[in-house]
Amino acid sequence: MRRAKSLPNLLTLGNAFLGLLAISKAIDALVLGSDEGFSGLFETACWFILGAMLLDGLDGRVARMTDSFSDLGAQLDSFADAVTFGVAPALLAKVMLEQHDVLHPRLNFFVAALYSLMAILRLARFNIESDHDEESHRSFSGLPSPAAAGTLVATMMMSQALLGGTDVGAESTTPMGHMLALIPEATRASLGGGLQYVTFLLLPTLALLMVSKVPYTHAFSSLMSARGRWAIVRLVLLLLVLALAPVLTLFILGWVYLLTGIVHVVRDRHEGSAGGNQVA
């Protein structure tokens, strides 16, 4: 039982380890410099962060199953998330922007640093405001840092897949890779380059959403807490879609989740203003 209670902390340390590996691969990609070698190392770094997201979702789930919540585990989780979902994605974004000469290096550093600092601030606030019970982890005030990192990384991977065509990227061996090959090379390059500028704008946007009060649900908990036949069907369909087009699927899921909180706020404000007009 004691070993089971240490499992959540081991998963959290695995999360931090993958974040450090992502940083290492990003530095290797920057040093290597050539487009072909850069794309392979950069993509590997992105997958490390996505893998860390899975571990981050599992550690809390395992902690609740084994009743092994502790203040040490909560602090360890925040420190790991700060590295993996705060520093590593920002460094990856800066590396990609520098590699493709997007805007000015100082501007790139500013938005990357802003993202990291707001992620750290968001994690510190979460530690103070949250409890250990499962109910307090079903929703969040502000965009969770793993979701912010996942959306950022998926956007960068989609950009690299478009720029690399069928020779580079996870989509090269999937049906989506063959579909990308049907798009004219100039169009692919234009779309991929456009997503790099979207990445630049996404950094400050995600930073502000992380420290905002925009409500978000816990996507991983919602998926894992589902019961019955339809839960299995939904999970199988998700895995099949990921197998067919992993990068595109993650890109769409990240942006859909990002927009759900914004749509929720807009809808609430619209309903509030409509109710005020009726009262008047």
Tens of pLDDT, residues 213-259: 999 987 765 655 555 566 677 778 888 888 888 999 999 999 999 99
pLDDT surpassing 80 at residue 55: yes
pTM: 0.88
pLDDT surpassing 60 at residue 132: no
Task: Give residue for tokens 């704008």.
Answer: 201
pLDDT surpassing 80 at residue 164: no
φ/ψ (deg, to 5) at 69: -65, 140
Tens of pLDDT, residues 193-203: 999 999 999 99
- H helices of 66-81, in order, are 71-81
pLDDT at site 168 = 46
pLDDT at site 135 = 54
Q: How many residues does the chain have?
A: 280
Q: Which of 117, 87, 106, 97 is nearest to 199 (CA)?
A: 97
How far apart are the C-alpha atoms of 192 and 203, rounded to whole Å? 17
How far apart are the C-alpha atoms of 173 and 178, rounded to whole Å? 8
pLDDT at site 88 = 97
Q: Which of 4-18, 176-190, 195-209 has the lowest mean pLDDT?
A: 176-190
Q: Helix, strand or coil for residue 49?
A: helix
